[in-house]
Structure 1
Amino acid sequence: MGLDFVQPLLLLLLPLAALPLLRRRSDTLVYSAIAWLPVDRIGRIAGFLWRAFAVAAMAAVVIGLAGPGQSGAQVLRTGRGAEILILMDRSSSMDANVVPKDVKAGGQFNASMPTKSQVVRELLSEFVAKRPDDRFAFMAFSTSPMRIVPFTQQGDVIQAGLAATGVGRGLPDTHMGSALLAAIGEFEGRPYAGSRVILVVSDGGAQLDETTRQRIEAGLVRQKIGLYWIYIRSNPNSPDLTTDAVGSLDSVEELALHSFFRTLPTPYRLFQTDDASAMAAAMAEIDRLQNFPLSVVERVPRRDFSSACYGVALLCCLGLLVCRALQLPSWAPAWRDGRSAS
């Protein structure tokens, strides 16, 4: 990209840098025949450098004040990973406590047990932290999808988005169809750089109409997106998706959604979890699966070159001091002190 300036009008001051080239009264020689004067090579060099350093110092200061820089630069980053969009269920059911297996077997329930959303946030935070080469985006959904963080490689931004989902309580409804369509839309217009995945984390399903199913299927195929579903089955009465369901799928939202996902032409993987340890195992498996070469062109912030200009001006000022030292009387020949050369 080309060079640009924050305040280009200040460049009109550049002609002032030619002031050191103008002759001064002190430059006039009082000798009638300068051919008699001995050749002062050091003085000539010092005089040339003096003017050159003065011109460069003034020009560098003016250019620095104009704010030179480079906008819109792009950097190619390569690594191993994927483009992962995290689609997190933030409905009120995710505020329920995660019941460990020993409690389900007859142990004592403790109200201080972490909620589903707390466990999910912690596991997703660890997942993001150990995958620095991935490009992450983060969305939450309940009654409607909420775009929290667009695609970025800045892990701290995703961590802040995850922490933000811990504020308040979720809404009662879960609209999975609109959330999936919004997640697919985040990939629109992005150049394909490697593996793409939508990671759905939810404890419930949805009954999607035929139009929504067709739009989801077409979007996943067009954008080459795989689908992972971490299904949190913390309630013993919730359906078990790991076994073949018998009966009407339309009557159970989780079974209906899983049945639709299995018909997708793009890759689909179900991770059914019952407690925190099972969720951690699912995240570890996803981390192992998504480890492909990834090349991403990233637009970096504007680069400011003003400090470099001021640094050049400082070096030129130091050069002026050196030239001044070379012009001290101790360097002058004897005739300059009024003494006879004979």
Structure 2
Amino acid sequence: MQNYLLIMNKLLVYIVLILGFSVKGFSQLNFGIMSSNNYVGVYSYNGVTSTNAYVLRFQYSGTNLNIPYWKTSVRLLQPIISTDGTKQFPANKLAFQITNTTGQAQAPNTIPTVSQIGAPLSVSLQQGQETFLVPQSNAALKNTTPYNSYYDFQMNYNLIIEGGNYLTALQGGYTQKTYIVSLEFKAYGTNNEVLGVEQRNYTIDVFKLNNVPVENKLSIQIRSGSNALLDVKTLSDYVNGVSVIYPQGLSIIADADYQLHVKSIQTNFISNTGNTLPLNTVRLDLIPASGNNANVFPVWLSAGSQKIATGLQSKGSPVYYDIRYATKPNDVTLIESKMEEYSTTLQYEITPQ
């Protein structure tokens, strides 16, 4: 018997975003995005949050809706260039923040909560790649009834524009500088079939800002190829556990004392067929490389943010950590699990102490 645990590393970028509308899809199921507006102005280095700015919505009329492991995503269609062509707004300063779910379903079916879905609470936009707002839902879109009924499921999102002195280069002097954000939203079904697609534009105006803040410069990077594969295949592997180390898999540069946190985007390891394993099947250790005097704190993986290291400012030079992943010896959960590849995505964060 053989099991694989795949861990995909993802950096945390902060914050902001926009949204739109989507449509169509699966039998009588429609996917769409309701937006309260398509504009926000930035008047402060603190950034701005547009509360409940967008609603991702699934609607269905019928008797047999049951779609497990669905996904939703957003993709930036082009760089965010100012209308005068002089500046580019960084995509990773835009983020979606899910707040709650609402809607209606025919009893005994229910509307899933954010925690039941397993949606990440905040997702930053990434330049040049599709970003998943719901990487794979743990709760199905479900409304099975003996007679025709209406199903309406809504996920409410804030739109956040990150604060910071990066805004200095983006403002327009005494008149605002305008940026158009072009987005494509998609919903996927169980077998990655597209349930709906919609493109929307969002306008951001950055006005003249005062009192430039002093910011700590912090950066974190996961080495290419540091996705972890734990191969559990022999009796000894199950009895003793397995581990893998990625030398200098993580590096940071910090001009202030810092701390590192990690969390899983999903609430479980998930296989392609929908089977799950608990996150705490795997332990994560950071091992300071030579010259790195940081304090480290081993953790069992969790969907909650956990501190994994603290360190002193690096004075402009990178410091490195080896990344080690390991399973538990004699883990009954692994022994009794089906032989498949299970995966999750990790999000690392660096902040000042």
The TM-score with structure 2 as length reference comes to 0.22
Larger relative CO (CA 8 A, sep 6+): 1 or 2? 1
The TM-score with structure 1 as length reference comes to 0.22
User: Greater Rg, structure 1 or structure 2?
Assistant: 1
- Structure showing the higher helix proportion among its residues: 1
